Amino acid sequence: MVEAVAAQKPVGLDFELIYNTHYRRVLNLCRYLLNSPDKAEDAAHEVFLRAQAKQASYNHAFPLSTWLLKIASNYCIDLLRRKTAEHRIFDSDAGESYEPPAQGASPLGEVLAAERGNDVRRALRSLTEKYRVPLVLAYYNELSYEEISDILGVERTQVAVLIFRGKEHLRQRLGESQGKERLR
């Protein structure tokens, strides 16, 4: 009997609690994606409004944060698309092949470890949204290429290229800032 009631009516979520618990993470995601503190605050608020409006669609099998971050990603990417003249931000350019030339900076496992988190985040922020967004989804949200390709609406292979390229750019920026440090 109790089960039947529970099945009919999804357990009402305590939104006050959800909001207080997850606000910071949602806000940080929005900040990463939108690159603007003001816009991020608006977006985070809107995300919770949307989440509240469609609580029914929440699948309790998955963590709540995953669901919230997905709403946030979709919303922010929608905003980015709306802002940009070209709606296809993440599509491949003419010169960009699936198999990019294996050149340039190599992975900086050790260097990166030595970097301070702030420097990495600053370098990330300096990337264009084309590379910033996939990196954030992959490493902040820890989404699979499949999930990212769903959100961005591009092929999975394109996601791989974007992340590979994005990391290349990131290394470059970090290398530049390191060079500057050394010059001082």
Partner 1 sequence: MMCPTEFTCAVFAEGELPEAEAREVARHLENCGKCGRLVSAFRGESRMLVQHLQDIDLEESVVVPEFASSSSQSLSVVGFALGVIGLALAFRLSTSILFGLRLPVELEWLNPREWVLGLGVAVNAAIYAIQNADAVVAGAVQTTVLLTLGTAALIGTARVLRRSMTANSILAATVAIGLTSSPSHAIDLRRGAAASIPATETIDDSVVARPDGKIKNIDVAGTIKGDLIVFGDVVIISGTVDGDVIAFARRVEVSGTVGGSLYGAAAILNVSGRVGRNMLGAASNVNLSQSANIGGNTITAGAESVIEGKTQRDLVSAGGMLDLRGEIGRNVHFAGGQLALGGSSRVGGNLGARVGKEENVKIAEGAVIAGKKNVTLNLATPRPSRYLSVSYYVWQIVRVLAAFVTGLILFKLFPAIVLTRVHSGMDWLKAGGIGFIALVTIPVAFIILAVTIIGLPIALLSLALWAAGIYLSKIVVAEFLGRSILKTRSAISLLAGLILVVVAVNLPWIGGLINFLLILLGLGALAVSIYRTRSQEGFAEV
- The least distance separating partner 1 from the CB of residue 123, rounded to whole angstroms, comes to 10
CA separation for the pair 158, 54 (Å, rounded): 31
Q: Helix, strand, coil shares of the chain as percentages rounded to 5?
A: 70, 0, 30
Selected range binding partner 1 among 4-12, 69-77, 83-91, 175-183, rule: CB under 8 A: 83-91
- Beta-carbon neighbour count of residue 148 at 10 Å? 25
Q: Burial of 86 by CB count in 10 Å (0-12 exposed, 13-18 middle, 19+ buried)?
A: exposed
Residue type, 110: E
User: Using the rule CB under 8 A, is 30 a contact of partner 1?
Assistant: no
Q: Which residue bears the tokens 């999930």?
A: 147
Restricting to residues 40-69, name those near partner 1 by CB under 8 A. 41-42, 45-46, 48-49, 52-53
Considering the complex, state which of residue 6 and residue 107 has its C-beta at the smaller distance from partner 1: 107
Give how far Cα 60 sits from Cα of 24, 71, 103, 154, Å: 21, 15, 45, 28
Residue from the set 6, 15, 62, 176 that interacts with partner 1 by CB under 8 A: 15
User: Using the rule CB under 8 A, is 125 a contact of partner 1?
Assistant: yes
CA separation for the pair 105, 102 (Å, rounded): 9
- The least distance separating partner 1 from the CB of residue 22, rounded to whole angstroms, comes to 10
Q: Which residue bears the tokens 């919303």?
A: 75
User: Using the rule CB under 8 A, is 140 a contact of partner 1?
Assistant: yes
User: Using the rule CB under 8 A, is 89 a contact of partner 1?
Assistant: no
Selected range binding partner 1 among 4-12, 66-74, 117-125, 175-183, rule: CB under 8 A: 117-125
Give φ, ψ of 58 to 5 degrees. -75, 125
How much is the CA Rg of the chain, to the nearest whole Å? 19
> Interface residues with partner 1 (CB under 8 A)?
15-16, 19-20, 23-25, 27-28, 31-32, 35-39, 41-42, 45-46, 48-49, 52-53, 82-85, 87, 99-100, 102, 106-110, 112-113, 115, 117-118, 120-122, 124-125, 135-136, 138-140, 142, 144-145, 156, 160-161, 163-164, 167
